[in-house]
Amino acid sequence: MFNAPLDVILTPHDVVEPDLIVVTDAQQISRRGIEGAPAIVVEILSPSTADRDRALKAKRYEATGVPHYWVVDVDAQRLDCYRLSGDSYVLAATAIGGEPLQHQDWPDLRIDPGAIWR
């Protein structure tokens, strides 16, 4: 797991900088950054980036095959987890407020979003 600032080089002409990055293939890690689609990218919304993160970056992640895209909305105390299904994202899990996140792809994973909002 890595955090910004770190480039994710999705294609030779498509470089992004997610807030958090989960890589499961060590060969993707280079001096330039992360090469190719990581397993999970997480964007933490802020007023200045929310629209870009939800629209433009989500479409870029979809188009380049990022399997999981998570969006953290601190103001709304909401964590949305999207999974790539075919060529588009579908909502796979959501946690609102203090309810724990349960994701069907990782049944043993427990995330306490309440700790994020504090």
Hey, where are the domains in the chain?
A: 2-117
Q: Which residue has the tokens 């479409």?
A: 59
pLDDT on residue 47: 86
Q: Rounded to the nearest 5 degrees, what angle is found at the Cα of 31, between the Cα atoms of 28 and 32?
A: 80
Whether residue 5 is preceded by a cis peptide bond, meaning omega within 30 degrees of 0, is yes
Judge contact between 60 and 41, C-beta under 8 A.
no
> In degrees rounded to 5, what are phi and psi of residue 61?
-65, -45
Burial class for 108, CB neighbours closer than 10 Å (0-12, 13-18, 19+)? exposed
pLDDT reading at 114 higher than 90: no
pLDDT on residue 32: 95
Write out the CATH class of domain 2-117: alpha beta
pTM value is 0.92
Q: Which two tokens stand for residue 95?
A: 């946690």
For the stretch 71-101, pLDDT in tens is: 999 999 999 999 999 999 999 999 999 888 8
For the stretch 26-60, pLDDT in tens is: 999 999 999 999 999 999 998 888 888 888 999 99
